[in-house]
Each structure stands twice: as structure tokens, then as C-alpha cells.
């Protein structure tokens, strides 16, 4: 049994609906699901820089984009000095992937419509139940995490061979049963790879829709063995928070420490970053 402690790490003005984060040196990169910006927050100087990653001329604004139009950037993962920002695929407007080079600051946009169609076909997940919220990328293999908050509760992990996600050919799907609260099964909200272990966060939300929000019943931290893709452990960490992003802060023999971000499902441009310590 693992013991956990949760505390506030930082409060940041200017970011709303935080849905993914990644720590690189002193910079915390944060995305929001209704924003066309990548946020770069210096944890030492507490300065925030906004980097435009969406260039859609049909949008009137790039912050608090209306729900029906938003790109729903739910995924932020990293490999070899590049950040990968993915839409959830839960509507046709949410199929974009952004590659951001941390060194050159170059932005590349890709359309994942064909890939997402293939994933749905292989997993037999329909449009109403397809909702990607987490990913890891090793350089030659992707793991994409489907959040089972639709009617069919299809929590699962897509294992994809190859570097270019827009040209996916080989896919396997592993279904997962996650812990529940009051008979509501929790569903994946993000994941991060630490050595050979995948740490994930999951939230129990009383809704049968990938689109409409519901009452938050609580959140879990857990891990999955990378080789066999089996659940190793899970711990409830909150009864009220909807954590949507996880990144590694530090690890030693006694503990593993993560930073988490929370989507409060409102239009306030303010986010709270939490520190979660897992004692081994």
C-alpha cells in the first residue's frame, strides 16, 4: 500500500481549464483545453509567457474558445526536446496535433482524423465514447489513453508502433477496469512514463457523456507496468478535484513526486498546480 500527500504547489493567473502539463528544467508548460496558447511558467521567477500554437482565422479569440469550437487540447507529452499537444478526438473539431520544438520554438500542426478513425475501428469505440486524455511517447512507440467517461465506460490504452502518429498503421487496444466511487467507475485523465512504469491519474465523474460535465466524486493515482500493461496499484488522492494533467517533479528511493493540474470547468483564467508525493 502506498501513502500519498497532496498540497498546493503554485497558483497561476492567466491560465484557464488546465488540462496538461510538463516540467522542463525551471519551466512548467501548461495547456488548457479551450485555449490556442501553450503556457510557459517559470517556477523560480513566477513569470508566465504565452506561446501561440493555434492559427485558426475563423476563431474570434484564442482564450476561452467556445465549447463547440475548442480544439480540446487534453494531452501534453514530451520526447527528445519536443512537446506533443493532442486534441481529444471527442468531436471532429478536436483532431489536431501540435508539435512544439523547445529549442527552435517551431510549431508544426498535423491532422489526426485518419489515425483517430483507425483507433475507433480497431477498438470498436464509437464517436460518443472516444475521448483521448493522456499519452506517452518513447520516440518509436505511442501509448494513448482513452477516457471511459461515455456510456460504454471504455477505459483503455492504445499501443501504437512508429514515430509519426499521423501515419499510424499498427495499433493494439488494451481495455482497463479502473476503481470506482459510489458505483461510478473512474476514467483516465492523464499519464506519464517514469522509467518502466506508467503513472496515471483518473477521475470518477458522474456523467455518461464525453461532452457534458458531471459531478466530481474523486480522483485516483495509479500505475501500470509498461511491459505487460497491467494495473500495479491505485490510491484515492482526492474526493473533490478533477485532475487532468500529471508530470514528474522528482524521484528517489523513498518517494516519487508529481505536479498535477486541475480543470475546474469554468471560464476563470486562474489555475492551481498541486504537488503529489507517493511514499514507497
The DSSP code sequence of 197-263 is EEEEEEEEEE-S-SSS--EEEEEEEEEEETTTTEEEEEEEEESS--EEEEEEEEE-SSEEEEEEEE-
Largest CA-CA distance found in the chain, in angstroms, rounded:
51
Burial 87-120 (b: 16+ CB within 10 A, else e): bbbbbebbbbbbebebeeeebeebebeebbebbb
Distances (CA, A) of 135 to 42, 69, 83, 84, 155: 24, 23, 11, 9, 13
Is there a contact between 31 and 76 (Cβ–Cβ < 8 Å)?
Answer: yes
Query: Between 3.30.420.10, 3.60.10.10, 1.20.120.1770, 2.120.10.100, what CATH number should domain 3-279 receive?
Result: 2.120.10.100
State pTM to two decimals: 0.95
Residue found under cell 498535423: 110
Kindly report the length of the chain: 280
- C-alpha dihedral, 28 to 29 to 31 to 36, nearest 10°: 130
pLDDT (0 to 100) of residue 16: 84
pLDDT at 151: 83
C-alpha cell at 28: 512548467
Along the 280 residues of the chain, how does pLDDT read in single tens digits?
579 999 999 999 999 889 999 999 999 999 999 999 999 999 999 999 999 999 999 999 999 999 999 999 999 999 999 999 999 999 999 999 999 999 999 999 999 999 999 999 999 999 999 999 999 999 999 999 999 988 888 999 999 999 999 999 999 999 999 999 888 899 999 999 999 899 999 999 887 777 777 889 999 999 999 999 999 999 999 998 999 999 999 999 999 999 999 977 667 789 999 999 999 8
* 205 close to 185: Cβ distance less than 8 angstroms: no
Conformational region of residue 138, where left means phi above 0, alpha means psi within -120 to 50, and beta covers everything else: alpha
- pLDDT for the residue numbered 220: 97
Task: Break the chain into its structural domains and give their ranges.
Answer: 3-279
HSE toward the beta carbon, residue 253, CA cutoff 13 A: 0
The answer to whether 53 and 62 are in contact (CB under 8 A) is no
> CA dihedral in degrees (53, 58, 61, 65; nearest 10)?
-80
User: Residue 130's pLDDT is what?
Assistant: 96
What pLDDT is stored for residue 149 in this prediction?
Answer: 86
Amino acid at each position: 500500500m502506498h501513502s500519498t500527500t497532496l498540497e498546493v504547489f503554485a497558483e497561476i493567473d492567466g491560465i484557464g481549464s488546465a488540462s496538461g502539463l510538463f516540467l522542463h528544467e525551471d519551466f512548467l508548460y501548461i495547456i488548457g483545453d479551450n485555449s490556442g496558447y501553450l503556457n510557459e511558467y517559470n517556477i523560480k521567477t513566477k513569470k508566465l509567457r504565452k506561446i501561440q500554437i493555434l492559427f485558426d482565422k475563423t476563431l474570434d479569440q484564442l482564450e476561452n474558445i467556445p465549447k463547440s469550437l475548442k480544439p480540446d487540447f487534453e494531452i501534453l507529452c514530451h520526447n527528445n526536446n519536443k512537446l506533443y499537444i493532442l486534441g481529444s478526438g471527442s468531436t471532429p473539431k478536436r483532431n489536431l496535433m501540435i508539435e512544439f520544438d523547445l529549442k527552435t520554438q517551431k510549431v508544426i500542426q498535423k491532422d489526426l482524423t485518419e489515425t483517430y478513425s483507425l483507433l475507433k475501428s480497431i477498438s470498436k469505440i464509437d464517436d460518443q465514447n472516444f475521448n483521448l486524455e493522456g499519452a506517452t511517447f518513447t520516440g518509436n512507440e505511442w501509448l494513448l489513453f482513452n477516457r471511459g467517461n461515455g456510456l460504454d465506460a471504455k477505459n483503455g490504452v492504445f499501443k501504437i508502433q512508429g514515430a509519426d502518429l499521423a501515419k499510424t498503421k499498427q495499433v493494439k487496444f488494451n481495455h482497463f477496469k479502473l476503481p470506482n466511487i459510489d458505483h461510478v467507475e473512474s476514467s483516465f485523465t492523464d499519464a506519464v512514463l517514469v522509467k518502466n512504469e506508467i503513472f496515471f491519474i483518473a477521475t470518477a465523474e458522474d456523467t455518461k457523456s464525453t461532452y457534458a460535465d458531471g459531478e466530481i466524486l474523486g480522483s485516483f493515482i495509479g500505475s501500470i507496468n509498461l511491459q505487460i500493461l497491467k494495473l500495479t496499484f491505485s490510491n484515492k488522492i482526492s474526493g473533490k478535484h478533477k485532475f487532468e494533467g500529471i508530470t514528474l517533479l522528482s524521484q528517489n528511493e523513498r518517494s516519487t513526486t508529481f505536479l498535477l493540474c486541475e480543470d475546474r470547468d469554468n471560464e476563470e483564467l486562474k489555475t492551481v498546480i498541486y504537488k503529489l508525493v507517493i511514499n514507497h
